[in-house]
Structure 1
Amino acid sequence: MKKDTYIIKGRVLHFIDEPDTTPENAYEYYKTGALVVEDGKIAFCGEASDAVSRYPTYNIVDRSNKLIIPGLIDTHMHYPQTEMIGAYGEQLLEWLETYTFPTERKFSDKAYAKDVSDRFIAECLRNGTTTAMVFGTIHPESVDAFFEVSDSYNMRNICGKVLMDRNAPDYLLDTDLDTAKKQTEDLIHRWHNKGRQLYAVTPRFTPTCTPEMMTVAKELMDTAPDLYMHSHLSENKGECAWVAELEPEATDYLDAYDRYGLVGPRSVFAHGIHLSEREYKRLAETGAAIAHSPTSNLFLGSGLWNKKACQEHGVRAGLASDVGAGTSFSQLQTLNEAYKIQQLQGEKLSAFQSFYFATLGSAKSIYLDDKIGNFEEGKEADFIILDNSGTELMDYRQSHCKTLEEELFVLGTIGDDRSIKETYVMGVCVYDKDQGFRRPPVELKAVS
């Protein structure tokens, strides 16, 4: 029997709809549950007794009393900024100049990029993140290094070479648009849909991209129907004012992308804090998504994301750590800050909505809910085993929880990497808190 074909028992929870809109039927929870994994995909989700009777010859992995949920999904991260988490004292634009650009300069060295990629992926898996949407740098080497490490774990990740040709140091500019386009085309050919890897055309943001570069980005998007577009939108008031100066013909910040054809399904914009009514409506009608980044929004003093406005307008939204302005790889800690951001606005973020947000909601925002995000039959078996006794405080606090909702809220408040017992990717345990990391025997899928 293949090692990625088995029954795993535990308390199984997954979401099938959004709790805020369908609270009665949003999730399935099996207190004595099980998943059946066949060749890296979900074959069954339900009661353990049913799983054993249907698949009597399958090996059983017993995680009884542990909570099993889908792998966490992070919709916006900067892997090159791993080494500069916690850089002190600036807001967005000054922070980029002081810390980010000098750090990203190092990623022309593929060996260096590979080392950081290894560390970054390890932190994702240690924290239960099985899929992430990730910025590289302007250097093609940074993207190759990332995808090689991602592919070695058989993760489903999205990455792209940054495009920018103004308002940055000379050493980080694409000085020749044809070269930038050709480098990106080559990366798309090597990596997009190779194994589980996916490519995002990545103009950093309007202030660093001329109209000519935005045109190149649209031309690149047209080379394949399922590419992503990954950028930033309305993070900081100073940034918004700068965009108005740079693009005076644009109606608003979103229009500075839209007029080049860069707003649509699979367009994912980090932040989206300072949006107009028109921008909310346009995001909704195009199917573009916001990647809510609570820890970085607080750390850089950028502002408070309006969840209520996004929901009322039907805007897709996912959860994001935004490492390295974000201060933690843990999506549990990201949920902690997301809750506080809503509290500051007189709104609520329930425990069920939080865990939907970190799993199926984020999968929907990046158009991967047909593959990941819950335990529907045929989906890829990315899941995590949570450890409620990860710390003495957690163990003590959880012993006083009386409902599943209370248990989840505590996990999303004081939980962190110590709450992750195991992380599974395509049915293979790639991280165990007690035994460390394991790479599955997966050959690299890149085309040379």
Structure 2
Amino acid sequence: MKDISRADTALRGRLLWFVERPEEHGAGAVRYIEDGLLVLAGGRILAVGETSALRPALPAGAVIHDHSGRLITPGFIDPHIHLPQTQVVASWAAQLLDWLNTYTFVEEQKYGDPAHAARGAAFFFDELLSNGTTTAVAFCSVHSASAEAFFAESERRNTRMAAGKVMMDRYAPDALTDTPQSGYDDSKALIGRWHGRGRQLYAIAPRFAITSTPEQLEAAAALSREHPDCLVETHISENLEEVATAKRLYPECADYTAIYEKYGLFGRKSLMGHSIHLSESERQRYADADAVAVFCPTSNLFLGSGLFDWKAMREPRRPVRIGVATDIGGGTSYSMLQTMNEAYKVLQLQGQRLDSLALFHAMTRGNAIAIGLDHLIGSFEPGHECDAVVLDARATPAMAHRMETVTTLPEELFILITMGDDRAVEETYVMGEPKKPRKRG
């Protein structure tokens, strides 16, 4: 048995995590312990196994958080979300470009005020942790103050997060644009201040090709070359009008993907939000570059953007890494459970199906792989940071009623995905510490 004499904390419950993709490796991808113990030291996993085997070896002072009977999985990961759009959710509009101009750009201007940004960040993190999300990759506004507020709040809560100041220098209000030089300078300063500080990471964030001039895309690429360990986050092929506009603005490029290729922003660190309207050639180039296609189902449905083709992306000869994300505020729920609920339906409409194990893998280890952090988060392997969520499949009367007929773990997981939300999250752990905000009143 591994020496656990240094342990200071343990989580007890029904432990579930993944070591491979269930859709490719079946039962061999799954690790499940009916009465398990996660043994921690300094927030990292020392050992995982049966409670009966590990508990007697715990040192006398170790704190045990007992969630016997409850399901414990790695914390959920959201690879595409917008900090300044929390008050944009559920805004009635036409499709993407109208929605941006009518609502989103109006709200994002407010994040130039540090006090407003700080209030928004506190609310944002409360919502994430209430829903069991322990890691996200976020777009802030164009203002450095918004990124400062994001990282300061994340540091206070000790969450592992990535974010970036949006870079955009055209087709937006004056109060919401930078320049190629100021976007570069502000981003570089934020990288120097926050990237690698504790659990904070930086994502270079040219919003999308429409709102960046060629000069700004060149500046973003320069940042990426200078800081190759930073992520790159952007948007692509979300909406047909957007695709046509991008091609009109960059006529020398054969397709939308070619724009990001031309400016050196398309590679293994690139998180390409939406990625709906892609040709076979573009999908092949995603695979060749090891770029990530980020599926945002609730946003795609709400804005009428289109249906993400999971099967085409995972074609066996050229599988593309996929992330699944809420995309608040085009997205309509902070819950990764509800996001996977809608992902399932989007795929059903195309004659594609993912079972509950594959859906749970997608929002834990799968998303960790997508953002290049599967060596740190997304599973319960020894050495990993212990971010975890405790789930109750009987959290509401309707769920409890449905659970009366359930006999298997996959059935229970599918109920959590289909019927669950923040009410099904009993606790959220960040580096082994309970962090779910408690309701007031």
TM-score (norm 2): 0.96
Task: Report the secondary structure of 2:135's partner residue.
Answer: strand
Separation in 1, partners of 2:220, 2:75: 31
Please report how far the alpha carbon of residue 421 of structure 1 lies from its aligned counterpart in structure 2 after TM superposition.
0.4
Partner of 2:423: 418
Partner of 1:119: 123
Deviations 1:316-363 (A, max 9, x none): 111100000000000000011000001100110110000000000000
User: Is the Cα contact below 8 Å between 1:295 and 1:321 reproduced in 2?
Assistant: yes
Match of 1:153 among 133, 138, 157: 157
Moved over 6 A (4+): 1-4
Q: Would you say 1:77 and 2:81 are equivalent positions?
A: yes
Quote the RMSD (CA, aligned, Å).
1.6
Please report how far the alpha carbon of residue 278 of structure 1 lies from its aligned counterpart in structure 2 after TM superposition.
1.2
Partner of 2:143: 139
Please report how far the alpha carbon of residue 389 of structure 1 lies from its aligned counterpart in structure 2 after TM superposition.
2.1
Deviations 1:214-270 (A, max 9, x none): 000011112222011000010001111111111111121111101111111111011
Letter in structure 2 aligned against 1:138: V
Separation in 2, partners of 1:352, 1:7: 25
Separation in 1, partners of 2:6, 2:200: 23
Q: CA 1:3 to 1:271, structure 2 compared with 1: closer, same or farther past 3 Å?
A: farther
User: Is the Cα contact below 8 Å between 2:269 and 2:371 reproduced in 1?
Assistant: yes
Match of 1:242 among 245, 260, 266: 245
Separation in 2, partners of 1:131, 1:81: 18
User: Is the Cα contact below 8 Å between 2:7 and 2:46 reproduced in 1?
Assistant: no
Separation in 2, partners of 1:203, 1:253: 14
Partner of 2:134: 130
Partner of 1:87: 91
Partner of 1:384: 389
Task: Report the secondary structure of 1:133's partner residue.
Answer: strand
Please report how far the alpha carbon of residue 433 of structure 1 lies from its aligned counterpart in structure 2 after TM superposition.
5.3
Partner of 1:194: 197
Letter in structure 2 aligned against 1:46: G
Q: Would you say 1:180 and 2:183 are equivalent positions?
A: yes
Partner of 1:374: 379
User: Is the Cα contact below 8 Å between 1:232 and 1:271 reproduced in 2?
Assistant: yes
User: Is the Cα contact below 8 Å between 1:2 and 1:39 reproduced in 2?
Assistant: no
Partner of 1:255: 258
When the two structures are aligned, how many residues end up with a matched partner? 435
Partner of 2:105: 101
Separation in 2, partners of 1:54, 1:279: 54
Separation in 2, partners of 1:23, 1:147: 38
Please report how far the alpha carbon of residue 56 of structure 1 lies from its aligned counterpart in structure 2 after TM superposition.
4.9
The residue correspondences of 1:407-446 to structure 2 (distance < 5 A) are 407-431=412-436
User: Is the Cα contact below 8 Å between 2:129 and 2:437 reproduced in 1?
Assistant: no
User: Is the Cα contact below 8 Å between 2:5 and 2:57 reproduced in 1?
Assistant: no
Separation in 2, partners of 1:329, 1:264: 28
Partner of 1:46: 49
Please report how far the alpha carbon of residue 55 of structure 1 lies from its aligned counterpart in structure 2 after TM superposition.
2.4
User: Is the Cα contact below 8 Å between 1:74 and 1:132 reproduced in 2?
Assistant: yes
Partner of 1:440: none
User: Is the Cα contact below 8 Å between 2:11 and 2:37 reproduced in 1?
Assistant: yes
Separation in 2, partners of 1:52, 1:189: 43
Separation in 1, partners of 2:239, 2:183: 27
Match of 1:319 among 295, 320, 324: 324
Q: CA 1:435 to 1:112, structure 2 compared with 1: closer, same or farther past 3 Å?
A: closer
Q: CA 1:79 to 1:3, structure 2 compared with 1: closer, same or farther past 3 Å?
A: farther
Partner of 1:207: 210
Letter in structure 2 aligned against 1:180: G
Q: CA 1:3 to 1:270, structure 2 compared with 1: closer, same or farther past 3 Å?
A: farther
Q: Would you say 1:8 and 2:11 are equivalent positions?
A: yes
Task: Report the secondary structure of 2:314's partner residue.
Answer: helix
Q: CA 1:433 to 1:15, structure 2 compared with 1: closer, same or farther past 3 Å?
A: farther
Partner of 1:347: 352
Identity of aligned residues (%): 45
Partner of 2:302: 299
Please report how far the alpha carbon of residue 399 of structure 1 lies from its aligned counterpart in structure 2 after TM superposition.
2.2
User: Is the Cα contact below 8 Å between 1:420 and 1:433 reproduced in 2?
Assistant: no
Separation in 1, partners of 2:250, 2:406: 53
Separation in 1, partners of 2:161, 2:399: 31
Partner of 1:164: 168
User: Is the Cα contact below 8 Å between 1:4 and 1:427 reproduced in 2?
Assistant: no
Q: Which moved more, 1:165-174 or 1:146-155?
A: 165-174
Please report how far the alpha carbon of residue 3 of structure 1 lies from its aligned counterpart in structure 2 after TM superposition.
12
Partner of 1:357: 362
Separation in 1, partners of 2:437, 2:396: 16
User: Is the Cα contact below 8 Å between 1:78 and 1:323 reproduced in 2?
Assistant: yes
Partner of 1:68: 72
Partner of 1:230: 233
Partner of 1:439: none
Q: Which moved more, 1:328-337 or 1:36-45?
A: 36-45
Separation in 2, partners of 1:150, 1:85: 22
Partner of 1:273: 276
Separation in 1, partners of 2:295, 2:306: 11
Separation in 1, partners of 2:8, 2:94: 50
Separation in 1, partners of 2:141, 2:130: 24
Q: CA 1:48 to 1:110, structure 2 compared with 1: closer, same or farther past 3 Å?
A: same
Please report how far the alpha carbon of residue 435 of structure 1 lies from its aligned counterpart in structure 2 after TM superposition.
8.7
Separation in 2, partners of 1:254, 1:223: 22
Q: CA 1:4 to 1:119, structure 2 compared with 1: closer, same or farther past 3 Å?
A: farther
Please report how far the alpha carbon of residue 93 of structure 1 lies from its aligned counterpart in structure 2 after TM superposition.
0.5
User: Is the Cα contact below 8 Å between 2:5 and 2:59 reproduced in 1?
Assistant: no
Separation in 1, partners of 2:46, 2:135: 21
Q: CA 1:432 to 1:120, structure 2 compared with 1: closer, same or farther past 3 Å?
A: closer
Separation in 2, partners of 1:146, 1:405: 36
Separation in 2, partners of 1:48, 1:41: 18
Please report how far the alpha carbon of residue 275 of structure 1 lies from its aligned counterpart in structure 2 after TM superposition.
0.6
Separation in 2, partners of 1:276, 1:48: 51
